[in-house]
Amino acid sequence: MRISGGQARGIPLSVPKGDAVRPATDGMRQAVFSSLAARVPGAWFLDLFAGSGAYGLEAMSRGAAGGVCVERDARTVACLRKNLAAVAKSLGRDLPTVSVLTADAATVPWSAATPPDLVFVDPPYEIIAEIAPRLFARFDELLAAHADPVVVFEMPGAITLEPAGWACVKRLGKGAHQPTVAFFRRTTSLPVAP
């Protein structure tokens, strides 16, 4: 698994051994960031259930201003920090604007003065039905001051989410049991593309 684009393209990412982490594939991340395109440079992100940090670190490679990666498992956080150091080295600079929090993604506070522009959510598939309503309720509060945030949610193709106040404006991937990514925007601000 590698960073798929931007200045750190090709940098390998470590993943803890075992099945605790199911990282987004290089191809899926490439498609996600192609869809986000001009939204990434200068953006602030929140990467929930960050695992290896692939989404947040990909955003940094492609010009994001900074963000927060949230992961609960301490062993996985160690891999994430190693990946952050590798991306920072490739970019030739420290990344003081990226924080790594060892915390529960459903309850983590956003401490920056500005709400995130992009929220990446890649939870264990078995908890999506339980966690998604709580997360979107939290996003209503967290993103209230943002004019047009995007929530990028990875889930199996068999799952469809319809959170109140949010609309899925694009979905990448096919197959009921294959990974897909849905782009959600608030229904109060819906131009055509994510």
Q: Kindly give the confidence (pLDDT) of every residue in the chain, 194 residues in length, as a single tens digit, with 9 standing for 90 and above.
A: 888 888 888 899 988 776 556 667 778 888 999 999 999 999 999 999 999 999 999 999 999 999 999 999 999 999 999 999 999 999 888 778 899 999 988 877 666 567 899 999 999 989 999 999 999 998 988 888 888 999 999 999 999 999 999 999 999 998 777 889 999 999 875 554 55
**CA-based R_g, the chain, Å:** 15
Q: What's the 3-state SS for the chain?
A: CECCCCCCCCCECCCCCCCCCCCCCHHHHHHHHHHHHHHCCCCEEEEECCCCCHHHHHHHHCCCCEEEEEECCHHHHHHHHHHHHHHHHHHCCCCCCEEEEECCCCCCCCCCCCCCCEEEECCCHHHHHHHHHHHHHHHHHHCCCCCCCEEEEEEECCCCCCCCCEEEEEEECCCCCCEEEEEEEECCCCCCCC
Q: What is the distance between the alpha carbons of residues 165 and 18, in angstroms, rounded to a whole number?
A: 37
For residue 64, with 0-12 CB atoms within 10 Å meaning exposed, 13-18 middle and 19 or more buried, which class applies?
A: buried
Residue-range domains of the chain with CATH: 26-186 (3.40.50.150)
pTM, entire model: 0.91
Helix (H) or strand (E) holding 46: strand 44-48
